[in-house]
Structure 1
């Protein structure tokens, strides 16, 4: 922006200066020519006074003195054809002046000033003063150079002033951009200092108001989730009491385990919402994945599914909380059980990106969680989207995993497993 403003000011200043300095330069040349002609005319008239009143020798000396004093060659053409003073050829302009008409005419290399003197012995005499091109342009080139330097200096001053004014606008604008970036990364304490022109200050105040409003909305959301949690705990307590009243101890224990898992999930959601910063959360991925696979292995055994667990030697710290990683594993394994037939095997592999085979680009230096199965795969068409699934589900499982991966600095990739089923690669950033 500063360069654009400087270029704009330079262009406008140059146009103004050209419109002013070009006529001024022409005027300087015209004045210089006029002064040279006036000086030559005065020299010619001073000699013309002596024509007819002195003898020829005195007239010659007068012409030579006029030439020396004026710096221009002075020639006197007498009616009889005699020439006194500086040597010069008789031109057509001299013949025209000999008819009694004073004039100025162009000549090779300059200009000649002719003054007719009537009443001289033998007829009309002509006094000629020659002005060379240098005489006509004396001082003009120096003045033009001074005008050029003045124009360049004015353009430079204009650019400097424009740059200072642009800085007064650009700096507050950059500060607003930095504050907006901080807000986008989750720093809701970022506030702008209103500086610069009134419009920029107004934008800063509006950004501060927006940041405050966002903070208020998030606080309201956290409180709303807390209220919902209390409402959920009441039916959970009722389920727990109903489970304890069952006559079958094994069935009661199984239902109580489910209720405990549901209560932990509700608590994790509440803590997740109340947590001020997701970026600070981290965990060791190895025990979390091992625990969740062990949990699902019980159901896999009931459905005659072969489970292969391949864990890299830990620890593998990832920039994801243990609750979020567990939710991702549950979502991915839940999809396997929901969308593959009984007996379809699956495999869970946890390794670093440097060791993960067949991965997409960008996995180096990260942790890769791969869940593959021997089911029908994703099928033709685009991958499932949030809230839209062709298999009768909500389509939220993969979106939860994708969001967690992106928040950790990674990504989620879908593909085909070696048996022809679905393969999900969850790339997680290192803590």
Structure 2
């Protein structure tokens, strides 16, 4: 902001200075010409005074030689009898008793010395104008700095009325956002706690099923659901400081796919898994596991039982890409699918929103496309842990409505 103001002041003051210097130069030049003309007029008057007393050629020549114009060969006298004394033949300036005194105007040099003084003074005035011009903007700059440094807390500033109104609007928006977040946390906490009773009943029923692959999968699903509910409740507790955690995407995906692969086998789905080499991202294992579960749950819920599913992990150039694709019918409206709560098709859109939030938290992106299996492909790009690279652009997401 300060540099912008400086450039604006410099432009305005510079234009004023140029006009000032041009005017001063014109006046200095005019003053020099006027002074030279006045000097020539005085020399002609001196010679005219001598002619009024005597027309003796020798006396007139002596007088001409003693004048500045005469010494420079610019002054001449034509006597009444036509005799020319002196050199030059300029404009007639004095006429006495039939004799005419003429002076050739001198070549007036530009007064560079005086001009340099004027330029120096103009430079000082320009610097002083820029310095003093910043003073009215000081409250604005101070208020903007306070505004910029008030992230996460209420803004208190004094300055121009418009900035104070902006600070009040920001405070109101922050208060409203905090209220909405608190309300959402309360709602999730209430739902999570309400789930504990049916979960307890499900655990008892699962234990009563007996043994076998199906019973084991039911107990595993109930256990996973219980773990997720506990994790949600724990996440709702305010944490003052939390050390940054990382996880290996390949390991987390491999662990979660043990459950989803069994589910795919039960439905007769073809499940392709390619996790590749270890790839670390700045997310907790639980957070990444929630992303994998959300994406796979969408696949199993919104595609036919026989539709294939593929999961792959690729590490390249500071990025870790997680791809989940299926052989379903694809996504009719990718734009809505990537916005929470308005997904359509019987979905809340929370799954893709969880995935998008996790990717953006690492500086990455989410891409919703049509995949090689014929259905939807969700491609998440996570910023690799301890990798310094420029953030992806755009930061949020890209939509593609093309066909394979």
TM-score band by shorter chain is: 0.7 to 0.9
Displacement after TM superposition at 1:277 (Å): 8.0
Q: Is the Cα–Cα contact under 8 Å of residues 239 and 259 in structure 1 kept in the other structure?
A: no
Structural mapping, 1:180-195, within 5 Å: 188=152
Displacement after TM superposition at 1:231 (Å): 3.5
Give the corresponding residue for 1:141: 109
Aligned equivalents of 2:229, 2:169: Cα separation in 1:
36
Give the corresponding residue for 2:260: 296
Q: Is the Cα–Cα contact under 8 Å of residues 356 and 365 in structure 2 kept in the other structure?
A: yes
Aligned equivalents of 1:342, 1:158: Cα separation in 2:
82
Change (3 A) 1:399 1:231: closer
Match of 2:103 among 131, 134, 148: 131
SS in 2 for 1:372: strand
Give the corresponding residue for 1:373: 326
Aligned equivalents of 2:281, 2:334: Cα separation in 1:
32
Question: Aligned pairs, how many?
Answer: 368
Gaps of 5+ in 2: 210-214, 386-404
Q: Is the Cα–Cα contact under 8 Å of residues 44 and 114 in structure 1 kept in the other structure?
A: yes
Displacement after TM superposition at 1:162 (Å): 3.7
Match of 1:152 among 80, 97, 119: 119
Give the corresponding residue for 2:389: none
Aligned equivalents of 1:287, 1:171: Cα separation in 2:
55
Q: Is the Cα–Cα contact under 8 Å of residues 303 and 329 in structure 2 kept in the other structure?
A: yes
Q: Is the Cα–Cα contact under 8 Å of residues 47 and 66 in structure 1 kept in the other structure?
A: no
Give the corresponding residue for 1:428: 382
Q: Is the Cα–Cα contact under 8 Å of residues 268 and 323 in structure 1 kept in the other structure?
A: no
CA offset digits 1:314-355 (Å, max 9, x no partner): 2x21022323212211121111112210122212111213xx
Of 214-223 and 5-14, more deviation after overlay is shown by: 214-223
Q: CA RMSD in A?
A: 4.0
Bigger Rg over Cα: 1
Tell me which of the two structures has the higher relative contact order, counting C-alpha pairs closer than 8 angstroms and 6 or more residues apart: 1
Q: Is the Cα–Cα contact under 8 Å of residues 40 and 131 in structure 1 kept in the other structure?
A: yes
Structural mapping, 1:245-256, within 5 Å: 246=205, 249-250=208-209
Of 149-158 and 247-256, more deviation after overlay is shown by: 247-256
Give the corresponding residue for 2:302: 339
Aligned equivalents of 1:133, 1:156: Cα separation in 2:
35
Match of 1:38 among 26, 34, 42: 42
Of 38-47 and 249-258, more deviation after overlay is shown by: 249-258
Aligned equivalents of 1:371, 1:115: Cα separation in 2:
110
Q: Is the Cα–Cα contact under 8 Å of residues 63 and 74 in structure 1 kept in the other structure?
A: no
Give the corresponding residue for 1:311: 275
Q: Is 1:112 the equivalent of 2:92? A: yes
Q: Is the Cα–Cα contact under 8 Å of residues 147 and 157 in structure 2 kept in the other structure?
A: no
Aligned equivalents of 1:395, 1:414: Cα separation in 2:
13
Change (3 A) 1:427 1:44: same
Displacement after TM superposition at 1:182 (Å): 6.5
Displacement after TM superposition at 1:189 (Å): 6.9
Change (3 A) 1:68 1:22: same
Q: Is the Cα–Cα contact under 8 Å of residues 289 and 329 in structure 1 kept in the other structure?
A: yes
Displacement after TM superposition at 1:408 (Å): 0.7
Match of 1:282 among 246, 268, 283: 246
CA offset digits 1:150-178 (Å, max 9, x no partner): 44334423432244346667898778777
Change (3 A) 1:37 1:12: same
Q: Is the Cα–Cα contact under 8 Å of residues 40 and 105 in structure 2 kept in the other structure?
A: no
Change (3 A) 1:277 1:20: farther
Aligned equivalents of 2:233, 2:225: Cα separation in 1:
12
Displacement after TM superposition at 1:227 (Å): 4.6
Displacement after TM superposition at 1:398 (Å): 2.1
